[in-house]
A and B are shown apart, each in its own frame.
Chain A
Amino acid sequence: MTNPNPESGSPDKEPATEAQAAQTAAGGAGRAATMAAPKRPEPEGRPSLGRLFLDNLWAANTVTVTVLALVLAMIVGAILIIVSDPEVLATYSYITAQPTDALNASWTVVSEAYANLFKGAVFDPETFSGWLNGDNGWQAVLGPISETLTYTAPLVFTGLSVALAFRGGLFNIGAQGQATIGVILAALAGFLLPLPPVLHLLVALLAGAVGGAIWGFIPGILKARTGAHEVINTIMLNYIAVYFLSWIIVQNGVQNPDRSDAISKPVESSAQLPRLLGDNLRVHAGILLAVLATWFVAWLLNRSTLGFELRAVGANPDAARTAGISVTRTYVLIMVIAGLLAGLGGSQMVLGSTANALTPLVVAQIGFDGILVALLGRVKPWGVLLAALLFGALQAGGNRMQSYSGISLELVTVLQALIVIFIAAPALVKAIFQLRAARAARLQTSLAKGW
């Protein structure tokens, strides 16, 4: 398993250059997100149809720019890996004398890192052969996917939360706080209420949703009634939520009596989301809820009267008001639904398999990552789902990259940030790759109008 040579399983994954290495890895990660699906069969297309396909591919459409942003981020990431490795860096001191040393060393460290990223997120060929030989069970083969989906589920919720608010013209920075309140209430319901299995889970999820909704309602009503800007209020509420969490953990009846550190009692097993693939794999029903939530938000936005109001208010509040839509009511509703989604995402941090008790860092960064996921997903529900998958994959792969290649997990954060930067600056990607302007390219629309 620790074999540093990445080519063991699939020889076609042996890239020739560093850039291609990045591209392959990007393709791998992207395929995890099924975004790169149309990109695969590209190189040897037939002349007529293939030409047309290539032309379309090279036009600056959303998918192309997203994939290329991934590629660029991987390239920059590769440079960072090289620079941060003192041994590789040492080979560069005599690069004029023996350039192959430097190139080989760079190649090895980068390809190994990205191969581990891929193996941790999607599929490790060794486990497959191991399964065939009987060395390990089928669970090991699905392990990486299971990890990816486990990280994905809460990000879908916070991403949807941010995206929904964005479509309504509000910038919800408060998904973090809403998720935090959600996780607190879900955990409290999870270990304080003695309820039968299925009901207990539903109550705990509901508690989390209500907690998030309340935390969204506050900035919503402040915006509607007093015009207070939601960005400032949600940021402030994030602090309140985080410190409230730190406080409540150490209260009597909440803190785990057997522990002296800041950790709460564990959530009863009756309130935990069922695992989908047996106890050895962490993937749990949260990912199904996430797909359901994505479908719901897509329906809400495009097929419901509420969504119509929401989009109208988001695009032009004056016209919405003139047409008789209550802008204030819509703002409050948007924030309540956004909070509800984030609260559900937060609840999974204790009801799922990530943890089963409150700690000060139990929600990790899912709220803030949700903002990135929403932007990467172009604030469209299904786009958010794919973006969350990508981020989940990076997270899962990053864990393996850290333990196997010794590359810090922070690199994954840097990669995520770089991807979003390149996405947010489509002009940059287009300029670098000399893309033709697509006829219907509407890249800027989702991101250009912030507040």
Chain B
Amino acid sequence: MEPGEIHALLGENGAGKSTLMNVLYGLYQPDEGEILVDGQPLKLKGPSDAIAAGIGMVHQHFMLVPVFTVAENIMLGAEQVKGGIAGFLDRRRARREVAEVSERYNLRVDPDAVIEDLPVGIQQRVEIVKALTRDVDLLILDEPTAVLTPQETEELLTVMRSLKAAGKSIVFITHKLGEVKAIADRITVIRRGKTVGTASPDASRDELAALMVGRNVRLTVDKKPAAPGKPILEVAGLVVDDDRQIRAVDGIDLTVRAGEVLGVAGVQGNGQTELIEAIMGLRPALAGTVTLDGQAVHGWSTKKVLRAGVGYVPEDRSVDGLVKEFSVAENLVLDIYDRPPFGSGLSLKPDAIAKSAKERIEQFDVRTSSADAPVSTLSGGNQQKVIVARELSRPLKLFIAAQPTRGVDVGSIEFIHSRVIRERDIGTAVMVVSSELDEVIGLADRIAVMYRGRIIGIVGPDTPREEIGLLMAGITPEQTGGAAPGPDAGPTGTTTGTTSDPGSAAAPEGPGSEDEA
């Protein structure tokens, strides 16, 4: 690492990127080898040693206390006290430090805002400010864009550029090729715990992808034109509240036909999750109807909806998709365990479960040591394949996939996409919800853009991404005339400030929101 350099660390899931960085940050101890800082070998016993050596880290999952304010979170671990023995916390000084750092690096945060009220993009900024107040020279960002919208990503890249200008070095861990090419000065590709090559940002995406997976991968989805049949899913006037009893879906009408993929695009938190949960019977619909192949299914239990021929890949695989303690085989029958041949009456048929698990593992190329291994031992991509295998192994009328490739490596993405298209081609109605615009554009035959609980527009897949980006930000084509001149206000990172609404914060479309992977 050189001073003032942005070094990208690229690799598939489970390649060892995060482990390497955790070693650098002193969280793990190296078994062999050493770390050199300014030519000196460094022995890190814990994160405090790393901070002392000028290394700061922003984790993939934020390490913030949700009920504390920004200033309190920043001073956490390095509390300033005044009043001698009484040890009062010096909040004022913490606030001043926050203000100073945000001023210097143009990272606007409100020191008095409570973390849980802030959108993820701002929370991440708090993490960066926190690292910077510790006077670090090397900042490690572990998959910082995984949780960000395209607009927030663009802002983050701007922040990184200004940090670089201030002479800080940054290690940027990711598996999204577009971002790497946009920002990195040098790229190191890691595969299975080994450095497999370094590349300059001029390398083409295909070259980088090939380095990452070790073979050539297709980044676009091959598909024939759709042959839409009769409507399978019809949603009319659907109204749904979220967990906080706030209206999340506000009167949605949409139709998915047999043999087509309807992509639902939108910045996360605009009601996509609630829409799908309502269709699946996981969340009560307050008004409106959901019809599946001519049958009204709203108010049905989840089990009944699944039995009616709906396959569902939930958004968050570790929370909703898998039981981590269960074996791969058990997870493969998680929603059909009580149907023949896996169960009859009260008893399970372990042989049938094991046999089908073997077949699925084969068919869906799930990399696991055995069918009896706990599913938590699998990498993210393989865990996702387990869910996809489970849902696609019974006859379906409708297949709903929410964020089907989030946090999944390139090889698995390719595989999952091809499976989705295959399902479409056999006449299943498919609905793909994703916050990755490229995924939606690649898969969908029609794209519905959601904004604040409504469908703000339905467009074809050939629509320019800028236009879809504007729709995602709530700007319909009629309004665009007035709004167009301001797209460059966003990347400076100043417009968001402390607004807590991700929709309005993400106003400009962010010209090159490249988070393709």
- The answer to whether the Cβ of B120 comes within 8 Å of any Cβ in the partner chain is no
- Report the separation of the CA atoms of residues A319 and B437 in the bound assembly, to the nearest whole angstrom: 27
- Report the separation of the CA atoms of residues A308 and B303 in the bound assembly, to the nearest whole angstrom: 15
Given contact pairs A303-B348, A303-B350, A305-B343, A319 touches B334 in the complex (Cβ within 8 A): yes
Q: Which residues of A contact B305 (CB under 8 A)?
A: 324
Q: Is the CB of A326 within 8 A of B320?
A: no
Which stretch in A80-88, A141-149, A310-318 binds the other chain? Answer: A310-318
- The answer to whether the Cβ of B440 comes within 8 Å of any Cβ in the partner chain is no
- Report the separation of the CA atoms of residues A325 and B325 in the bound assembly, to the nearest whole angstrom: 17
- Report the separation of the CA atoms of residues A305 and B319 in the bound assembly, to the nearest whole angstrom: 22
Q: Is the CB of A319 within 8 A of B319?
A: yes
Q: Which residues of A contact B338 (CB under 8 A)?
A: 305, 308
- Report the separation of the CA atoms of residues A94 and B222 in the bound assembly, to the nearest whole angstrom: 91
Q: What is the CB-to-nearest-CB distance from B163 to chain A, in angstroms, rounded to a whole number?
A: 38
- Report the separation of the CA atoms of residues A319 and B375 in the bound assembly, to the nearest whole angstrom: 13
Name the residue among A308, A311, A319, A326 with the largest chain B CB count within 10 angstroms: A319
Q: Is the CB of A312 within 8 A of B323?
A: yes
Which chain A residues (261-313) contact chain B, with CB distance < 8 Å?
A: 303-309, 311-312
Q: Which residues of B contact A304 (CB under 8 A)?
A: 346-348
Q: Is the CB of B326 within 8 A of A321?
A: no
Given contact pairs A305-B346, A305-B348, A321-B302, A316 touches B337 in the complex (Cβ within 8 A): no
Q: Which residues of B contact A305 (CB under 8 A)?
A: 337-338, 343, 345-348
Which chain B residues (250-309) contact chain A, with CB distance < 8 Å?
A: 280, 282, 301-307
- The answer to whether the Cβ of B417 comes within 8 Å of any Cβ in the partner chain is no
Instruction: Name A449's closest neighbour in chain B (CB-CB).
Output: B325
- Report the separation of the CA atoms of residues A323 and B312 in the bound assembly, to the nearest whole angstrom: 9
Q: Is the CB of B330 within 8 A of A308?
A: yes
Q: Which residues of B contact A320 (CB under 8 A)?
A: 323, 334
- The answer to whether the Cβ of A260 comes within 8 Å of any Cβ in the partner chain is no
Q: Is the CB of A315 within 8 A of B348?
A: no
Q: Is the CB of B325 within 8 A of A315?
A: yes
- Report the separation of the CA atoms of residues A307 and B350 in the bound assembly, to the nearest whole angstrom: 13
Q: Is the CB of B346 within 8 A of A319?
A: no
- The answer to whether the Cβ of B335 comes within 8 Å of any Cβ in the partner chain is yes
Q: Which residues of A contact B502 (CB under 8 A)?
A: none
Q: What is the CB-to-nearest-CB distance from B386 to chain A, in angstroms, rounded to a whole number?
A: 12
- Report the separation of the CA atoms of residues A311 and B334 in the bound assembly, to the nearest whole angstrom: 11
Q: Is the CB of A322 within 8 A of B321?
A: yes
- Report the separation of the CA atoms of residues A72 and B280 in the bound assembly, to the nearest whole angstrom: 53
- The answer to whether the Cβ of B406 comes within 8 Å of any Cβ in the partner chain is no
- The answer to whether the Cβ of B93 comes within 8 Å of any Cβ in the partner chain is no
- Report the separation of the CA atoms of residues A309 and B335 in the bound assembly, to the nearest whole angstrom: 10
The count of residues in chain A whose C-beta lies closer than 8 Å to any C-beta of chain B is 21
Q: Is the CB of A316 within 8 A of B348?
A: no
Interface residue from A307, A315, A322, A325 paired with B326 (Cβ < 8 Å): A315
- Report the separation of the CA atoms of residues A173 and B324 in the bound assembly, to the nearest whole angstrom: 26
- The answer to whether the Cβ of B314 comes within 8 Å of any Cβ in the partner chain is yes
Q: Is the CB of A319 within 8 A of B320?
A: yes
- The answer to whether the Cβ of A2 comes within 8 Å of any Cβ in the partner chain is no
Given contact pairs A304-B348, A305-B337, A305-B343, A325 touches B323 in the complex (Cβ within 8 A): no
Instruction: Name B317's closest neighbour in chain A (CB-CB).
Output: A319
- The answer to whether the Cβ of B322 comes within 8 Å of any Cβ in the partner chain is yes
Q: Is the CB of A311 within 8 A of B302?
A: no
- Report the separation of the CA atoms of residues A315 and B335 in the bound assembly, to the nearest whole angstrom: 15
Q: What is the CB-to-nearest-CB distance from A284 to chain B, in angstroms, rounded to a whole number?
A: 30
Write the B474-517 contact mask toward A (1 if CB under 8 angstroms, else 0): 00000000000000000000000000000000000000000000
Q: Which residues of B contact A303 (CB under 8 A)?
A: 347-348, 350
Which chain A residues (317-366) contact chain B, with CB distance < 8 Å?
A: 318-326
- The answer to whether the Cβ of A10 comes within 8 Å of any Cβ in the partner chain is no
Q: What is the CB-to-nearest-CB distance from B164 to chain A, in angstroms, rounded to a whole number?
A: 41
- The answer to whether the Cβ of A133 comes within 8 Å of any Cβ in the partner chain is no
Q: Is the CB of B335 within 8 A of A323?
A: yes
- Report the separation of the CA atoms of residues A318 and B319 in the bound assembly, to the nearest whole angstrom: 6
Q: Which residues of A contact B306 (CB under 8 A)?
A: 323-324
Given contact pairs A305-B343, A312-B323, A322 touches B312 in the complex (Cβ within 8 A): yes
Q: Which residues of B contact A311 (CB under 8 A)?
A: 323, 326
Q: Which residues of A contact B350 (CB under 8 A)?
A: 303
Q: Is the CB of B302 within 8 A of A308?
A: no
- The answer to whether the Cβ of A445 comes within 8 Å of any Cβ in the partner chain is yes
Q: Which residues of B contact A318 (CB under 8 A)?
A: 319-320
Q: Which residues of A contact B335 (CB under 8 A)?
A: 323-325
Q: What is the CB-to-nearest-CB distance from B156 to chain A, in angstroms, rounded to a whole number?
A: 30
Q: What is the CB-to-nearest-CB distance from B425 to chain A, in angstroms, rounded to a whole number?
A: 26
Q: Which residues of B contact A326 (CB under 8 A)?
A: 301, 303
Instruction: Name B277's closest neighbour in chain A (CB-CB).
Output: A322
Q: Is the CB of B322 within 8 A of A316?
A: yes
Interface residue from A309, A315, A324 paired with B324 (Cβ < 8 Å): A315
Interface residue from A306, A307, A316 paired with B323 (Cβ < 8 Å): A316
Q: Is the CB of A322 within 8 A of B314?
A: yes
Q: What is the CB-to-nearest-CB distance from B245 to chain A, in angstroms, rounded to a whole number?
A: 16
Q: Is the CB of B326 within 8 A of A324?
A: no
Q: What is the CB-to-nearest-CB distance from B401 to chain A, in angstroms, rounded to a whole number?
A: 13
Q: Is the CB of A324 within 8 A of B303?
A: yes
- Report the separation of the CA atoms of residues A407 and B347 in the bound assembly, to the nearest whole angstrom: 50
- Report the separation of the CA atoms of residues A321 and B280 in the bound assembly, to the nearest whole angstrom: 11
**Sampled A-B contacts (11; CB under 8 Å):** A303-B347, A311-B326, A316-B325, A322-B282, A322-B302, A322-B312, A322-B314, A322-B321, A324-B305, A324-B307, A326-B303
What is the interface of chain B, defined by CB distance below 8 A to chain A?
A: 280, 282, 301-307, 312, 314, 319-326, 330, 334-335, 337-338, 343, 345-348, 350
Given contacts A308-B343, A325-B303, A445-B325, 14 further A-B contacts (CB under 8 A): A303-B350, A304-B348, A306-B346, A309-B337, A315-B323, A315-B326, A319-B319, A319-B321, A321-B302, A321-B320, A322-B312, A322-B320, A324-B301, A324-B305
